């Protein structure tokens, strides 16, 4: 994605992840630790970025940003028959202020 949003906005990425999970009719898994797990880095080879990994009851939702290339990688896997990962992607498209999305979809 060619993004116009702040790709180091860790709080925004977490909030968007939680909203995406809700909109996609998925449920955040109850874990013994923090969920979603998130971190921000400013001095890596990709120019810094944010990563969020949320465990959902049927698999996961993960997102990584890369400042240097102004891109975000979004990965959502679910075995939920009534889950809609495409709705999660729509939440991120709005949050990231992008019109350009490249989708690689795998249906098992």
Report the alpha-carbon distance of residue 2 to residue 86 in Å, rounded. 18
60 is catalytic: no
Q: Which of 38, 51, 60, 64 is catalytic?
A: 64
32 is catalytic: no
Report the alpha-carbon distance of residue 19 to residue 36 in Å, rounded. 12
Report the alpha-carbon distance of residue 54 to residue 41 in Å, rounded. 18
79 is catalytic: yes
Q: Which of 17, 59, 65, 83 is catalytic?
A: 59
Q: How far is it between the farthest Cα atoms of the chain?
A: 40
Catalytic (active-site) positions: 59, 64, 79
């Amino acid at each position: 994605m060619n993004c116009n949003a702040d790709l180091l906005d860790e709080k925004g990425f977490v909030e968007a992840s939680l909203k995406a999970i809700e909109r996609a009719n998925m449920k955040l898994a109850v874990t013994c630790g923090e969920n979603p797990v998130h971190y921000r880095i400013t001095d890596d080879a990709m120019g810094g970025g944010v990563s969020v990994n949320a465990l959902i009851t049927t698999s996961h939702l993960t997102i990584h940003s890369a400042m240097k290339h102004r891109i975000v990688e979004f990965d959502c896997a679910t075995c939920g028959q009534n889950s809609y990962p495409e709705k999660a992607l729509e939440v991120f498209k709005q949050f990231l202020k992008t019109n350009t999305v490249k989708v690689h979809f795998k249906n098992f």
